[in-house]
Amino acid sequence: MSGSRIILALDIPEREKALEIAQAVSPYISYIKINWPLVLGAGADIIRDLGKIKPVICDLKLADIPNTLRLIADEISKRSPFGVIAHAFVGSDCLKELVAYSSRMKVFAVVAMSHPGSSDIMDSQMDRLIDIARLSGVYGVVAPANKPGLLSRVRKMMPQTVIISPGSGAQGGDPLAGIKAGADFIIVGRSLYDAADPREAARQLLTVTS
């Protein structure tokens, strides 16, 4: 994984808008992350369509039993995404099943989240979630750039694992601080897709994070 350290998060439901923005910012990003709003609004084939612009990470935050994860992975993999995001709290058996079944796509596990409510349970259990992710053999983890203390701890505990980090921009995180704390890639959504000129906003962000 090299080049730009920016992942565009398209948390919008409109197909044409998503494609337009992705194309506009494509020179300045490495990956596109999509969530349920776009999958539900545009249909699952948006994964394949956006993948023609940049590799796609499906942020479905999967959290279910192994058999259900296999069924979801089978459908998602037909659209050739780069990766899929699952929750670590479901346990190592589930993540191991997803990793084993998803040889054609990378699995990322959520070990901490960027919203304030993550402190209710997840933040205090982060070390255990990291252990589960490590035991499961995931390719990468998700940890928040707007909580640099947590992010730094994830990096220390997982020095060789790819870390992708939400929470910059609209959620208050400093993208450069996130990188310094250990993020390999910064996930940015609203600061790009809601910008008056998404292409220029992405260009400026690339300058800051390079």
Catalytic residue set: 61
Q: Which amino acid belongs to residue 30?
A: S
* CA–CA dist 48, 15 (Å, integer): 12
Is 124 exposed, middle or buried (CB count within 10 Å of its CB: 0-12, 13-18, 19+)? exposed
Residue with tokens 């730009």: 4
- Quickly count: other Cβ atoms within 10 Å of residue 61's Cβ: 16
Residue 72 CB partners (closer than 8 Å, separation 6+):
60, 62, 64
* CA–CA dist 190, 186 (Å, integer): 13
Nearest to 137 by CA among 114, 155, 158, 113: 158
Residue with tokens 């020179």: 27
